Chains A and B, each alone.
Chain A
Amino acid sequence: MKPFRSATGRVAILDRPDVDTDQIIPKQFLKRIERTGYGEFAFFDWRYDADGTPLPGFELNRPEFAGAKVLLAGRNFGCGSSREHAAWALQDYGFKVVIASSFGDIFRSNASKIGLIAIELPEHEVKSLMEGVDLDRGSDLTVDLAAGTITAPDGRTIKFAFDQTTRHRLLEGLDDIGVTLRLSDEITAYEQARPIA
């Protein structure tokens, strides 16, 4: 995993509650055995009609949101299926950060494993960030994970809380398995003390 410190970029808004991972990456794309290349299929059924023509009514198809790195999303974003493909798809689409008032547990955990930053803010803060986005020309914002701050399009600084252990891992780009394998002796001791099947 690449270390992440901060990101500045275009903001996109998807202000719908309970966006499930079936929408983020529909099942027809789960047959692939690779980890990469899911970005073009992100939100596929919302993004395109049956002939593959982009649907103008879908938020992320707005020209002002093109090339977005930060997604402002509604509450309980990423609920439902455990498919990590959802996090892969958002990252491959170009998002570095997703900000919402709450997340599906598994999605949030998956995001943290691949370096997609999922930030939880109080609902009113998310709404005010959304309101601050210039819908005619588009807006940028900055997320600084090390400092725990978001710089809103209007220059305001918002602090966010983030799990300390996850923050450290993301800042350093640490491989979870590598870290755990250093505890092999403890795992072996556990197995000897409590044998299973």
Chain B
Amino acid sequence: MIEAMPRTLFEKVWETHVVHEAAGEPALLYVDLHLVHEVTSPQAFEGLRLEGRRVRRPELTVATMDHNVPTLPGPIADPLAKAQLDALRANCEEFGVKLHATGTGSEGIVHVIGPELGLTQPGKTIVCGDSHTSTHGAFGALAFGIGTSEVEHVLATQTLWQRRPKTMLMEFAGDLPPHLTAKDLILAAIGEVGVAGGVGYVVEYAGEAIRALTMENRLTVCNMTIEWGARAGMIAPDDTTFAYLEGRELAPQGADWERALGRWRSLASDEGATFDKHVTIDVSDLAPQVTWGTNPGMVVPVTGVVPSPSDFDDPDDREATERALEYMGLKAGTPIEEIKIDRVFIGSCTNSRIEDLRAAAAVLEGGHIAAGVNALVVPGSAKVRLQAQAEGLDKVFTDAGFEWRLAGCSMCLAMNADVLAPGERCASTSNRNFEGRQGRGGRTHLVSPQMAAGAALAGHFVDVRKLEPLTNKTVTA
């Protein structure tokens, strides 16, 4: 008997979903779950209407309100945002799509509610008009962001034309040191491979450091896959994955659960499966990471200094560094710990789940944010918010001087009223430090929830490892 060729996790999921394929052509892939939000969908629904088309599988389509929603209670003041949310509501009604609307208790950031509801499952193909759809790959799903034309295509056909991407294995060697997080791990990786290092690849994250991560931390890693150009990141499902999923509202139940488990257990890459590229990153000496520039690859350890253009050989890199330093209002050589901050944002699909809030609260407990700092915590979903309140975390945050807000994307992209003023500097747990991302002229530094909390207390970046023991919150400025 001929042995089957060893296959990667990606290949197994891909091959199960090919509906049609001709030599030399892209494949037509079936989409198991299509997530929808208000910003990238109105033109797609309008396209369907203009052509008299329907949604092929409304039951595989799930919508939420997240990007535009206010995080303070009360009616929405912005008329444009309101019109967009109203359009989503009307479209979902017209086309029979389930909507997790604001105020229903199941709303939240699209990439937070998928896993939370148990909709995100191993082996599924998942798409959304949002680049951080890569998040869902933490479950061993093939999940990636698409544009609005493709959203319309998926609505109409439940499929997508895709060229088969190349595969990469990113292996993390060593154990993450104490107080280091998934955010530090992925930021350091992006710093190493660069923001275009993954273009054209689907990456599988592996290694002991990944296996040791909780499900929520794995979501943080896969979330930032798009920040180094790879469209999808995947982690082989294991007992951690299954334990997280079991009993969730929309996860398989009873006999279905047992059958699903059998399928899911066979998804991991086979021994001897080959990848087009293999990268190894050692995390055993990792220090907490802080971005200094205007893309997520511009990152250094908190123990480091702001780099200088002359540190780079490539003329494009040198110029980009100069521009970034100017935009960020930073001088080369400044120790990261001396950078003072004005604002703190804990939230976004990268770091707004319950474990993130617990981690930040543990740093804050008994302490108070520094004078002059304004700090915001925005839970990723209505359910995360309730859970945090049940655990008394809201109290820890508000006692420390944070504002405790309603769920949404909020200051991750600042489409609502949560915006940085020009020149304001923010320690943010989100995923993008692009120019203007959190408000025109705003300066974003990406960090872990622990590091954001530490910076809030001190008024400048601090090495959270020095905050031990976490019961003593006196931070000297």
Contacts and interface: CB of A to CB of B under 8 A. Distances in A.
Q: Taking each of B40, B149, B163, B440, which has the highest tally of chain A beta carbons within 10 Å of its own beta carbon?
A: B149
Interface of A: 15-18, 20, 22-23, 26-28, 30-35, 45, 50, 74-76, 79-85, 87, 102-106, 109-110, 113-114, 163-165, 176-177, 180-181, 183-184, 186-187, 190-191, 194, 196-197
21 contacts: A16-B319, A17-B320, A22-B434, A23-B436, A30-B67, A75-B196, A79-B196, A82-B146, A85-B148, A105-B200, A106-B146, A106-B147, A110-B147, A113-B147, A177-B53, A186-B28, A187-B19, A187-B157, A190-B19, A196-B32, A197-B59
Interface in B78-98: 78, 80-81, 83-84, 87
Interface of B: 16, 19-20, 24-26, 28, 30, 32, 39-40, 42-43, 46, 51, 53, 56, 59-60, 67-68, 78, 80-81, 83-84, 87, 129-131, 145-150, 152-153, 156-159, 161, 163, 195-196, 199-200, 226-227, 229, 231, 295, 316-317, 319-320, 323, 413-415, 422, 432, 434-437, 440
Given A32-B84, A103-B199, 13 more contacts: A17-B316, A20-B434, A27-B414, A30-B415, A33-B87, A35-B43, A45-B440, A84-B149, A104-B199, A165-B24, A165-B26, A177-B51, A177-B153
Nearest to A16: B320
B20 A183 contact: yes
Contact of A187 (B83, B130, B158): B158
Contacts of A180: 28, 153, 156-157, 159, 161
A140 B473 CA distance: 63
Contact of A22 (B30, B59, B432): B432
| Most-contacted residue by chain B among A22, A31, A34, A194 (CB, 10 A) | A31
A26 B436 contact: yes
Q: Which of A15, A80, A102 has the most CB of B within 10 A?
A: A80
Contact of B231 (A34, A80, A105, A113): A105
Given A79-B195, A180-B159, A106 B131 contact: yes
Given A27-B415, A190-B19, A183 B28 contact: yes
A126 to B, nearest CB: 11
A33 B78 CA distance: 14
Contact of A80 (B147, B156, B414, B434): B434
A163 B163 contact: yes
Contacts of A103: 199
A114 B43 CA distance: 13
A16 B199 CA distance: 18
A151 B129 CA distance: 36
A69 B157 CA distance: 34
A40 B148 CA distance: 20
A176 B84 contact: no
For the complex of A and B, 9 pairs with smallest distance between CB atoms: A110-B147, A113-B149, A84-B147, A33-B42, A31-B80, A82-B145, A76-B196, A84-B148, A82-B131
